[in-house]
Amino acid sequence: MSGPSAANQQTINRREQLVDYIAAGEKPASAWRIGTEHEKFGFRLDDLRPLTWEGPQGIGALLEGLTRFGWERVIEKDKLIALLRDGASVTLEPAGQLELSGAQLENIHQTCCEVQSHLKEVKTVADELGVGFLGMGFQPKWKREDMPWMPKGRYAIMRRYMPTVGDLGLDMMTRTCTVQVNLDFSDEADMVRKFRTSLALQPIATAMFADSPFTEGKPNGYLSYRSHIWTDTDPDRTGMLDFVFEDGFGYERYVDYLLDVPMYFTYRDGVYHDLAGQSFRKFMRGELDALPGATPTMTDWADHMTTAFPEVRMKKFLEMRGADGGPWNRLCALPAFWVGLLYERSSLDAAWDLVKDFTREERNALRDGVPRHGLKLPFRGGSVRDLATEALKISVQGLKRRARLNAHGTDESHFLEPLIEIVAANETPAERKLALYNGPWNHSVDPIFREFVY
């Protein structure tokens, strides 16, 4: 989840301003960049419990320790809650999941170096504190009530509101981790093609990255329980956005969608004001009871855009949001997968050809079925594995045609090898952990924290 946006105090009084805000993200292909984000669970090595903010083994201490590497502190009400450096940030999810929001980089080689550097820094400090970090889609051991809450104002508002609109929103906040990639578009038509293609293929990414089969120490019946959680979080701000595939979709239609998403808050003068459930349209008319006469700024709009959680989200770029967190090599594989599909024109055309005749019912059946069945979900006489195989072939070729080489002359396609192996074996990371649970782990999830620690 995002923090407060950079200040822009321009007052909003016309819908067209909101459309122009998105359109301002258009870039020529030469300026397209890759922004990768990932989250991970912190835990104490001695008892595996999640990290509170306070204390010598707390998240606050970890963030402070990271400042030795040149990170600048972000303070909210005297609490260290984030770090900034060179266009990247380290932030906290509601229960202290540690997130790297990477800089805007030119290729996957740079992205993977950034991830490795970050994890090395985190491990350096974590080892000193006696803590570790785990990449999975869902907290495998601890109950909701065992999870701590971070001292961030927006999370207090969401914590109160979430149970009023869904049963699993608090689990989404406290017990999930994801990896996502943010990608650019050149104009509205390019955005539409990329949005539709990535939205239709998002369940395939979910299947390949499925890694959340345990809840409170036991199998939960899902391969990506993280993905399932979004189906009962908040129907006003989640889902497959069927309107994206309708004629006439573009910036204006997405703005109308966001205007219908209920608000959470406004951030002013260093304070989060609770506006949960209220209308941004009324805010634009100065009709909010909580802030009589007040009208929104572009900062309010930028913040509001971060509170919608569809499978693909648009800001001034597109965010691919369908994957469980995982080990470091899959953190590099996700941006590689989507860059190969979306950043090379012939690959984008081939990917769209793969999904363009999917019906609304089929798209939603994929989204609803993959969390439980993964690659083995039946589809059109085959399975999701068949779709994943074709999508990976397209992505490999796209990365090869991009021809972004490292110092050894290797292109970006090798970052897809973990996914190619998963699909070839027809076995998700979740299924591999389940086999270990039912075998050498003797029906315990505790070995996860030892064998899969970063």
* pLDDT at residue number 5: 53
| DSSP secondary structure letters along 396-442 | HHHHHHHT---TTS--GGGGGHHHHHHHHHT--HHHHHHHHHHTTT-
Give the per-residue pLDDT at 269. Answer: 82
Amino acid letter, 134? L
H/E segment holding residue 218: strand 218-219
pLDDT score of 6: 55
- Token pair in block for residue 14: 């016309």
Phi and psi based region of residue 417 (left: phi greater than 0; alpha: psi -120 to 50; beta: remaining): alpha
How far is it, in rounded angstroms, from Cα 406 to Cα 246?
Answer: 41
**Contact in structure between 104 and 156 (CB atoms under 8 Å):** no
Tokens of 292: 């009589």
In whole angstroms, what is the distance from residue 192 CA to residue 182 CA? 15
Identify the residue whose tokens are 């202290």.
96
* pLDDT at 431 (0 to 100): 98
> What is the pLDDT at residue 7?
60
Q: Which residues of the chain have a pLDDT value below 70?
A: 1-7
For residue 57, CA distances in Å to 8, 43, 249, 432 come to: 37, 9, 49, 31
% pLDDT > 70, the chain:
98
Domains observed in the chain: 15-261+308-451 (3.30.590.20)
Q: Give the DSSP letter string of 176-199.
A: B-EEEEEE--SSHHHHHHHHHHHH
Contact 210, 324 (CB under 8 A): yes
Distance CA 346, CA 325 (A): 29
Q: Which are the contacts of 347, defined by CB distance < 8 A and separation ≥ 6?
A: 340, 341, 394, 395, 397, 398, 401
How far, in whole angstroms, is CA 278 from its chain's centroid?
Answer: 25
The answer to whether the CB of 2 falls within 8 A of the CB of 302 is no
Q: What angle do CA 179, 383, 220 make, to 5 degrees?
A: 55
Helix (H) or strand (E) holding 214: strand 214-215
Rounded CA-CA distance 248/158 in Å is 33
Q: How confident is the model at residue 268, as a pLDDT?
A: 85
Comparing CA positions, the residue from 76, 98, 78 lying closest to residue 89 is 98
Name residue, tokens 């406290």. Answer: 174
List of residues 6+ apart from 105 with CB closer than 8 A? 33, 34, 35, 36, 111, 114
